[in-house]
Structure 1
Amino acid sequence: MKFSANLGFLWTDRPLPQAIRAAAAAGFDAVECHWPYDVPAAETRAALEETGLPMLGLNTVRGPAGENGLAALPGRKAEARAAIEQAIAYADAVGAGAIHVMAGFASGPAARETFLENLAFARNTCPEEITLLIEPLNRHDVPGYFLQDTEQAAALLSDLGRDGVKLMFDCYHVGRSEGDVTTRLAALLPRIGHIQFAAVPDRGAPDHGELDYRFVFERIAALGWTQPLGAEYRPGGDTGASLGWMQALRTAR
């Protein structure tokens, strides 16, 4: 089993290039991030090349304070598409494999149509080798977010009908909103582009809580998934001190 360090949550006490180096030193197989745009792409790429870690993905910007993405907001297409183009440019510069297109706070048919149109724009604009991702966020943590569950996301992907646009399946968000995580994983596998995880319900390290991640990881491996799984959890202090779960899994092999 391979793991990716999500540097939006892990090693947040240091600049992104140093966080990449810390992830490599800790034994992660890849990294991913949220919003790296304040760091020059050349510095990020240099750290990736030095460590040999791939950058799995990054997010489009949230937008002005209080927002959480732009791509499903009616009347905001120019901003949403500028954010998509910004993400594509950065991803291309650092060799990132995917872009999470953040939908934002919206609802209703107009929001759905706007999101579909902006996803089509993103796919038409984005290099073929970069995957686009959409992610449902649970209603407890992110009330009002456009994408709220995997059923809604799967229906939207069906209507979009474009290759290279996939589901980001976060076990934490699915566990909080829907439950039955491994059954949903199996059913949605052909649509999934990336898998993330954290403890349910506190979003801590995956060594406690409602989900038995040893079982979840075994099921993911049995499904034939070979890409790194994204550790997107809150370490509750020093990141290095939170990594006992990974050490235990690798010792048990």
Structure 2
Amino acid sequence: MKFSANLGFLWNDRSLPDAIHAAAAAGFDAVECHWPYDTPAAEVRAALEDTGLPMLGLNTRRGDVSAGENGLAALPRREMEARAAIDEALDYGAAIGARAVHVMAGFASGSAARKCFAGNLKYACEIAENKGITVLIEPLNHYDAPGYFLSTTRQAEAIVAEVGAPNLRLMFDCYHVQLMEGDLTNRLRQLQPIIGHIQFAGVPARGAPDEGEVNYAHLFEVIAAMGWDVPLGAEYKPGGDTDATLGWMQQYKA
């Protein structure tokens, strides 16, 4: 398997360019991040060029973090802010050569939120198409993100179908899906046609993948048998020195 280091969690005590270099030194095949906007795009692009690592994706801004916001795209009457965040993410992504942008839904519910989310995703997909960027949506579990609009892959599958854009895809995070639905092997196989990225972490503590209830040795075999050749996103919380937690990669890396 090939792996991508999610620098929102791994080496997050370093500047983003330094974290990119650390990921390369550790043997990762790609990187991804959460909210890189405090770092000039030119510095990130230089680090990517120095290391030869692709940037798989980044997130739209969460909104007012001090007020507990976690995304804007499904919040009715916040469309202008949501689309400004989408524009920012796509512009930044294009500047660093990112392959995808995750549009964060936020805390909302009901039909108005769904209509708002679908409308903002259509907007994002139209802009992203011209930049060659994929738009991702990701269900978050209701333990870590209670009240988040998007919480299951079935809900995401319906929204992808409703929006109908070829560049709108599902971010399948094994950690979140296991907590909400389980049945990871079958869900991966069933949803493969709309999956744009796969992430993983140990369950339930969100630590390294060699900890917890999910048998990733088996799951990575399933993913390989699907013909998946894009690096899988290691989005786990190391709980200390990242390098000290990377023993799993020697076991699973191709």
Q: Would you say the 8 A contact 1:197–1:233 is kept in 2?
A: yes
Name the amino acid aligned to 1:112: R
Q: Which residue of 1 aligns with 2:222?
A: 219
Is 1:120 paired with 2:122? yes
For residue 248 of structure 1, report the CA deviation from its aligned partner.
2.0
Alpha-carbon RMSD across the aligned residues, in angstroms, is 0.7
Can you list the C-alpha shifts for 1:200-235, whole angstroms capped at 9, x where unaligned? 111000002110000000000001100000000001
For residue 128 of structure 1, report the CA deviation from its aligned partner.
4.8
Distance 1:121 1:115 in 2: 10
Count of equivalent residues: 251
Counterpart pick for 1:131 among 134, 137, 148: 134
Q: Percent identity?
A: 67
Q: Would you say the 8 A contact 1:128–1:164 is kept in 2?
A: no
Q: Which residue of 1 aligns with 2:63?
A: 63
Q: Which residue of 2 aligns with 1:24?
A: 24
For residue 72 of structure 1, report the CA deviation from its aligned partner.
0.3
Distance 1:58 1:38 in 2: 13
**Structure 1 residue ranges (4+ consecutive) displaced by more than 6 angstroms after TM superposition:** none
Q: Which residue of 1 aligns with 2:7?
A: 7
Name the amino acid aligned to 2:166: D
Name the amino acid aligned to 1:25: A
Give the structure-1-normalised TM-score: 0.98
Give the structure-2-normalised TM-score: 0.98
Counterpart mapping for 1:31-46 below 5 A: 31-46=31-46
Q: Would you say the 8 A contact 2:94–2:131 is kept in 1?
A: no
Name the amino acid aligned to 1:45: R
Q: Which residue of 1 aligns with 2:110?
A: 108
Counterpart pick for 2:182 among 169, 179, 182: 179
In structure 1, stretches of 5+ residues that fail to align are none
Answer with 69-78 or 126-135: which moved more.
Answer: 126-135
Is 1:141 paired with 2:144? yes
Can you list the C-alpha shifts for 1:39-75, whole angstroms capped at 9, x where unaligned? 0000000000000000000000000021000000000
Local SS of the residue matching 1:20: helix
Can you list the C-alpha shifts for 1:183-214, whole angstroms capped at 9, x where unaligned? 10000000000000000111000002110000
Name the amino acid aligned to 2:95: A
In structure 2, stretches of 5+ residues that fail to align are none
Distance 1:226 1:129 in 2: 19
Local SS of the residue matching 1:10: coil
Distance 1:29 1:49 in 2: 13
